[in-house]
C-alpha cells in the first residue's frame, strides 16, 4: 500500500497579540492529506484553509479558529472526496482496508499507546506544559488527524509533523493503536471519525444542469445510454483530478490503435472529423453548463471552479471518443471489412 504523506500545519502558524504561536489549521491540513493520498494532488495546509473558508470557516489571524466536522463534510466534495460519518468502528476499519481514509478528531495525546511516534513539535509542547502547567499537559489538546491502511494495520498522520525527514509519512500503527487514538475524546472510537473516499467517476453522459436564476441549460448526451443525473452541488464542485486517468489513457490508446488498423479505410478521415466535432460540441456544452451552475462571474472564477469546468469538459469529450471506439457503433460511418 502507498505511504500517506504528511500535510503539515507548521507552515500556517499564526501569532496572537502576545507573540504566542497559534496552530489552528489541523483539520484543513488533515483533509488535504486525505485528498492527496486518494487523488494524487499536492494540496498544502494553505489550500485547506482556503477551501474550508468556502464552506463557512472564518480563519481569524492570531485567534484560535477551530474547524468543525460538519465543515469537513461540506468541504470534502470540493477536493473530490465523498464524506460519510462513521456508524461503527468496524465500518472505519473496513473503509480503510478498502483503500479509503479517515479524518479523526482527537484529544491528543490522551490514552495514546506509548509506542506511537509523536511529532517533534508535540514533544516540545509536552515539555513546556509539563513545567509550566501539568494539568494542561495532562488534559491534552483538541486536534484533527488522518489515517489510511498500511501493511497489517494503519498509518496515522499528525499534521504537527513537519512533512520532511523522519516526519514525511504517516506513522505505522496497529488497528488497536488507532482505536485508542480515536477514543481519546472519551467517546466511542467511531464517533469522531469522518470516512473519506473517492467519488465514483461518471460512466455515462453528463446530466442536465439547472443554473441559478431559473436559467436552465440542457446538455445533449453524446451517447444513447441514459445519463447519470447528479445533484447540482456535485457537478459544481468536481475537481479536475476526479477524471478517471486510467480510463483516459485506455481510451487514448484505443484511438491510436484504431487509426493504425484503419489506414486503408476511406471513411476514416470523415469519421475523425465527425467525432471531433461531436466531442467539441459536448465538451463546450458541458463546460458552459457547469460554469453557469457555479453562479459566479467569469472574472470571479477561482482555481477550483476552473478545475471543475475543465474536468466536466474533458469527461464529455472522452465519452464521445469512447462511443466512436465502439466496434458495434456505426453512427460515424464505420463499416467493418
**Per-residue pLDDT at 235:** 29
Task: Pick the range with the lowest mean pLDDT from 44-58, 230-244, 274-288.
Answer: 230-244
Average pLDDT over residues 6-23: 84
The sign of the dihedral angle between the CA atoms of 216, 223, 228, 242 is negative
**Per-residue pLDDT at 31:** 97
**Residue recorded with cell 475524546:** 185
Average pLDDT, the chain: 78
Q: What percent of the chain has pLDDT over 90?
A: 50
Residue 106 phi/psi, 5° resolution? -125, 165
> What does the pLDDT look like over 136-170, one tens digit per residue?
999 999 999 999 999 999 999 999 999 999 999 99
pTM, 2 dp? 0.60
How far, in Å, CA of 94 to CA of 98, rounded? 6
**Per-residue pLDDT at 160:** 95
Secondary structure of residue 229 in the 3-state scheme: coil
> What does the pLDDT look like over 166-185, one tens digit per residue?
999 999 999 999 999 999 99
Which residues does 179 contact at the CB level (< 8 Å), separation at least 6? 89, 189
Domains of the chain by range and CATH?
A: 10-198 (3.90.70.10), 209-325 (no CATH)
Cell of 189: 472510537
> What does the pLDDT look like over 245-291, one tens digit per residue?
444 555 555 555 555 444 444 456 777 777 788 778 877 877 777 66
**Residue recorded with cell 478521415:** 269
Task: Pick the range with the lowest mean pLDDT from 71-85, 175-189, 304-318.
Answer: 304-318
Which residues does 287 contact at the CB level (< 8 Å), separation at least 6? 309, 310, 312, 313, 316
Cell of 161: 509533523
- pLDDT class for 335, splitting at 50, 70, 90? low
84: alpha, beta or left, given left = phi > 0 and alpha = psi -120 to 50?
beta
Cell of 166: 523522519
Average pLDDT over residues 124-128: 92
Amino acid at each position: 500500500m502507498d505511504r500517506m504523506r504528511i500535510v503539515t500545519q507548521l507552515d500556517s502558524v499564526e501569532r496572537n497579540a502576545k507573540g504566542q504561536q497559534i496552530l489552528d489549521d489541523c483539520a484543513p491540513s488533515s483533509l488535504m492529506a486525505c485528498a492527496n493520498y486518494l487523488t494524487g494532488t499536492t494540496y498544502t495546509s494553505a489550500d485547506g484553509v482556503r477551501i474550508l473558508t468556502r464552506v463557512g470557516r472564518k480563519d481569524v489571524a492570531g485567534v484560535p479558529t477551530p474547524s468543525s466536522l460538519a465543515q469537513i463534510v461540506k468541504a470534502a466534495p470540493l477536493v473530490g472526496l465523498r464524506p460519510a460519518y462513521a456508524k461503527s468502528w468496524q465500518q472505519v476499519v473496513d473503509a480503510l482496508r478498502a483503500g479509503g481514509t479517515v479524518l479523526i478528531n482527537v484529544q491528543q495525546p490522551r490514552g495514546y499507546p506509548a509506542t506511537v511516534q509523536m511529532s517533534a513539535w508535540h514533544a516540545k509542547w509536552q515539555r513546556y506544559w509539563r513545567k509550566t502547567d501539568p494539568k494542561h499537559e495532562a488534559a491534552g489538546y483538541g486536534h484533527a488527524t488522518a489515517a489510511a491502511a498500511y501493511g497489517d494495520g494503519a498509518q496515522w498522520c499528525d499534521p504537527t509533523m513537519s512533512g520532511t525527514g523522519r516526519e514525511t509519512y504517516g506513522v505505522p500503527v496497529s488497528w488497536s493503536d488507532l482505536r485508542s487514538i480515536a477514543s481519546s475524546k472519551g467517546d466511542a472510537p467511531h464517533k469522531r471519525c469522518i470516512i473519506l473516499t473517492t467519488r465514483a467517476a461518471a460512466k455515462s453522459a453528463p446530466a442536465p444542469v439547472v443554473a441559478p436564476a431559473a436559467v436552465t441549460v440542457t446538455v445533449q448526451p453524446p451517447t444513447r445510454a441514459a445519463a447519470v443525473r447528479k445533484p447540482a452541488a456535485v457537478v459544481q464542485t468536481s475537481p479536475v483530478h476526479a477524471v478517471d486517468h486510467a480510463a483516459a489513457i485506455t481510451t487514448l490508446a484505443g484511438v491510436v490503435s484504431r487509426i493504425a488498423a484503419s489506414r486503408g479505410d476511406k471513411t476514416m478521415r470523415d469519421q475523425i472529423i465527425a467525432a471531433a466535432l461531436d466531442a467539441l460540441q459536448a465538451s463546450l456544452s458541458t463546460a458552459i453548463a457547469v460554469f453557469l451552475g457555479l453562479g459566479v462571474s467569469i472574472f470571479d472564477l477561482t482555481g477550483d471552479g476552473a478545475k471543475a469546468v475543465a474536468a466536466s469538459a474533458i469527461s464529455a469529450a472522452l465519452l464521445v471518443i469512447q462511443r466512436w471506439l465502439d466496434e458495434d457503433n456505426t453512427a460515424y460511418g464505420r463499416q467493418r471489412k
